[in-house]
Amino acid sequence: MEADVAHVQVKFFTKQSRYSVPDSPFSVPVSVKTDDLSSLINGLISEPLGDETSLEFDFLVDGEFLRVSLEKHLEQKNISTETVVEIEYVERHPAPKPEDSLNHDDWVSCVHAYNNTILTGCYDNTIRLWTTKGDSVLTIPGHTQPVKCVSWIKHESDGKYSFMSGSHDQTVLLWQWDESSNEVDCVHSCRGHAGSVDCVAVDQSGQRFCSGSWDKMLKLWSAVIDREEEGVDEEEENPKKKKKTGGQKVQTRVPMLTLSGHTEGVSAIAWLEEQEVCTASWDHTIRLWDLEKAEQKSSLQGNKVFLDMSYSPLNRMLITGSSDRHVRLWDPRTSDGAIVKCTYTSHNGWVSSVTWSTTNEHQFLSGSYDNLMKLWDKRSPKAPLYNLVGHTDKILAVDWSIPTLMMSGGADNQLRIFQHEESKTPLGT
């Protein structure tokens, strides 16, 4: 006859050496959940740590966070309760805190932060610069239709920054901002797309960038700001549309390379290597391109529209957001059939934007038409770590370029900023 409460033998281990516990097996009820295990670990480490407030831990069994009872988790993973179960524990990630909300005049469609400055693009055709403290620096007109994507390019030693903006008006504009005088010049207008420019990505050197458009094309351009560049200036090209900023003529730039293959609009671009770029599209595919050979290398087939994609150099994996409400984890270089490594299901609307952490290979953000931004750990497919609330309309863009700030722009005309702390204890070995 079985005992009233079944037990299982477990062994705990951690990479955070400060919190290590004895290596011997412990007998715990199979019905335990995360909070019970957290109390147990606190009891085991309370002596060496002194009289500290109890810590919260998360637990990994077979590489996945425990989000149900241990019994249920072992059942799902097909792990026998007769064996000694190895459980890794990590300090629980602190909850991001709402910091600020920056008001725009229309939908906030894109955001990219760098140093202490935030770049946003808006459906009122303007680009805006903000400090990370929430102060407005500049509102920049230039496009004739909504701005769909923005990206910082480079910071020169003389205090000049360059950035770019792509728009529904089919152009990418390259800008130079002088921080000390707070003046901005539009130096180049990149023309060649026949549809809305929905995504841009700069290579690591800051010398080149790619753009993707509703015209289904991927184009490669020079990202170098060159005021002396020979080219057709816009006054000669179209005398009725004179464009001068600060006395400078805006030079028209043409693409270095155009690649076709997608059958619908290109929604996202990521650089994987110096000569390798990845694109995601409304045609349900992700494609890898060799820029040197000017050809498509491979294609990964999805089953729904891709709205966004992000690549992490830390783990060499892609995440995508789709119209079926799922976030998916992909290995772009896999040769076997299982290209989708994991699916993350929690959103109730189209997943419009995704981005990896730049410092933590496990974490990423997603934003959705359900008005929520979610913080995920890739080892927790069944539930996000946190829901970040505040938007009253759909989210169009998320950004985590500055490790301490999580940002989301939405159709409620707001850019919401959350303060994010790393775990209190650095990972040890």
Task: Annotate 116-146 with DSSP letters as a single string.
Answer: TEEEEEETTS-EEEEETTS-EEEEE---SS-
**What pLDDT is attached to residue 2?**
45
Q: Are 363 and 375 in contact (CB under 8 A)?
A: yes
Name the domain boundary from 45, 76, 91: 91
Q: Output the CA torsion 162→166→167→171 (10° steps).
A: 90
Q: Considering only CA atoms, which of 357, 362, 429 is closest in space to residue 398?
A: 357
79 and 177 belong to one structural domain: no
- Contact residues for 270 (Cβ-Cβ < 8 A; gap 6+): 201, 277, 278, 309, 310, 311, 318
Closest CA to 93 of 40, 140, 55, 150: 55
- Residue 428 covered by a domain: no
- CATH of residue 45's domain is 3.10.20.90
Distance of CA 254 to the CA centre of its chain: 29
Based on the number of CB atoms within 10 Å of its own CB, is 179 exposed (0-12), middle (13-18) or buried (19 or more)?
middle
Instruction: Look up residue 68 and give its amino acid.
Output: V
Same domain, 258 and 368: yes
* Residue 1 within a domain: no
pLDDT of 236 reads 43
- Please report the pLDDT score of residue 338 as a whole number: 62
Same domain, 79 and 122: no
Q: How many other β-carbons are positioned within 10 Å of the β-carbon of residue 66?
A: 22
* pLDDT at residue 337, as a whole number: 59
Q: 103 and 66 in one domain?
A: no
Q: How many domains does the chain have?
A: 2
Give the domain range for residue 61. 7-91
Residues 334 and 258 in one domain: yes
Do 222 and 347 lie in one domain? The reply is yes
Alpha-carbon gap, residue 34 to 56, rounded angstroms: 9
Residue 237 lies in a domain: yes
pLDDT at 428: 35
Final residue before a domain boundary, out of 91, 106, 122: 91
Radius of gyration of the chain (CA): 24
What is the C-alpha to C-alpha distance for residues 243 and 147, in angstroms, rounded to an integer? 18
306 found inside a domain: yes
Q: At which of 91, 108, 139 does a domain end?
A: 91
Query: Could you tell me if 165 and 207 lie in one domain?
Result: yes
Same domain? 208 vs 263:
yes
CATH number for the domain harbouring residue 141: 2.130.10.10
Task: Looking at the structure, tell me whether residues 72 and 151 fall in a common domain.
Answer: no
Residue 59 lies in a domain: yes
Q: What is the pLDDT along the chain (429 residues), one digit of tens a residue?
A: 344 678 999 999 999 888 999 889 999 999 999 999 999 999 888 665 555 668 899 999 999 999 999 999 999 999 998 999 999 999 998 999 999 999 999 999 999 999 999 999 999 999 999 999 999 999 999 999 999 999 999 888 788 999 999 999 999 999 999 999 999 999 999 999 999 999 999 999 999 999 999 999 999 999 999 887 765 544 444 433 334 444 468 999 999 999 999 999 999 999 999 999 999 999 999 999 999 999 999 999 998 999 999 999 999 999 999 999 999 999 988 766 568 899 999 999 999 999 999 999 999 999 999 999 999 999 999 899 999 999 999 999 999 999 999 999 999 999 999 999 875 544 333
Laid out side by side, the sheet with 326-330 consists of 306-312, 317-322, 326-330, 340-345
My answer on whether 248 and 217 are in the same domain is yes
CB-neighbour burial class of residue 243 (10 A; exposed 0-12, middle 13-18, buried 19+): middle
CB burial of residue 238 (10 Å; 0-12, 13-18, 19+): exposed
On whether both 77 and 118 belong to a single domain, the answer is no
And the tokens for 167?
């728009």
Task: Report yes or no on 427 lying in a domain.
Answer: no
pLDDT at 378: 96
Instruction: Specify the pLDDT at position 238.
Output: 45
Distance (Å, rounded) from C-alpha 213 to C-alpha 217? 6
